[in-house]
Amino acid sequence: MAKILSGKEVAAALNSRLQARAAALAEQGVLPTLAIVRVGEREDDLSYERGAMKRCSTVGVSVRPFVLPADVRQDELLAVIRQINEDPAVHGCLLFRPLPKHLDERAVCEALRPEKDVDCITSGSLAAVFSGQGAGYPPCTAQAVLEILDHFGCELRGKRVTVVGRSLVVGKPVSMMLLGRHATVTICHTRTADLPGQCRQAEILVAAAGKAGVIGKEHVSPGQVVVDVGINWDAAAGRLRGDVDFEQAEPLVEAITPVPGGVGAVTTSVLVGHVVDAAARAAGL
């Protein structure tokens, strides 16, 4: 039986470290504060917002919600971003995306001050992930993958890692971060020849394809550590499923993250951690 790499356990450890840091900042008169900007009432956004608010309150981070109608004008939204930029009491900003089609999403993202970009929405933050230089925070999901591997003592240096997926949100940044930790990384996508072989040869397999159960028993091998980033709603089964077919892979591999309760459980704690960090940096502590 594989070891189950519980994201809930990782999040609990992260939260207690963050609580201590937030309490130390409070003693210095600094209250870490996250602005949440939501346009419209998308159920995905509302559910993430509820999770983020709960996690913030557990850790001792304050939240300022900015809720705008779905037909908000570009200049009105930019004015909110400017207000966040100029408010020294706000340390980070979470902007829900995708924005409605009539808005220029890139322009809105780029308007945010880099030091408040706790969710890696500006091209400057993403460039820092790729260059390994400069300030900025990596995408929370990509960092959550590394938090899990680190928490369970999985050595990365010199390891063969295969990442399935090359999106700018998950696949590419997580690949660069693993490379930065001296892993030997193979990035796969829909045109990859022999995907099962590329996956089997890895010592660590990261699945971020966004397709329920696309990684099956032919993709995994004994001794492997499998991190499943996928969150896919299976309407027929009425439950969330990962990109990995858990029932097929779990008996064969050494360790695996569950879905739900894996990477998704850690992402919000990473975000809150970025806010605490940004507050400490802003206060020069």
Q: Which residues bind ligand NAP (CB under 6 A)?
A: 141, 164-167, 169-171, 188-192, 195, 208-211, 214, 229-232, 263-264, 267
d(C-alpha 54, C-alpha 265), whole Å: 12
CB proximity list for 93: less than 8 A, separation 6 or greater: 34, 35, 36, 37, 81, 84, 112, 116, 117, 118, 119
187 is in an annotated binding site: no
Cβ atoms of residues 199 and 220 within 8 Å: yes
SS3 breakdown of the chain: % helix, strand, coil, rounded to 5? 45, 15, 40
How large is the greatest C-alpha to C-alpha distance in the chain, in angstroms? 56
Least distance CB 20 / ligand NAP (angstroms): 24
Least distance CB 23 / ligand NAP (angstroms): 27
Among residues 72 and 144, whose Cβ is nearest to ligand NAP? 144
Cβ atoms of residues 49 and 96 within 8 Å: yes
238 is in an annotated binding site: no
Among residues 34 and 209, whose Cβ is nearest to ligand NAP? 209
Among residues 25 and 172, whose Cβ is nearest to ligand NAP? 172
Phi-psi group of 261: left, alpha or beta (phi > 0 → left; psi -120 to 50 → alpha; rest → beta)? left
Question: Do the strands 92-95 and 33-39 form a parallel or antiparallel pair, or are they unpaired?
Answer: parallel
Q: Which residue is nearest to ligand NAP (CB)?
A: 167
Instruction: Give me Rg for the CA atoms of the chain.
Output: 19
Among residues 100 and 210, whose Cβ is nearest to ligand NAP? 210
Question: Do the strands 204-207 and 160-164 form a parallel or antiparallel pair, or are they unpaired?
Answer: parallel
241 is in an annotated binding site: no
Least distance CB 172 / ligand NAP (angstroms): 8
Among residues 113 and 166, whose Cβ is nearest to ligand NAP? 166
Cβ atoms of residues 142 and 183 within 8 Å: no
Least distance CB 268 / ligand NAP (angstroms): 8
166 is in an annotated binding site: yes
d(C-alpha 12, C-alpha 34), whole Å: 20
Is the N-terminal amide bond of 251 cis, ω within 30° of 0?
A: no
Among residues 258 and 264, whose Cβ is nearest to ligand NAP? 264
Least distance CB 152 / ligand NAP (angstroms): 17
Least distance CB 17 / ligand NAP (angstroms): 20
Residues annotated as binding site for NADP(+)?
Answer: 165-167, 231
Residues annotated as binding site?
Answer: 165-167, 231
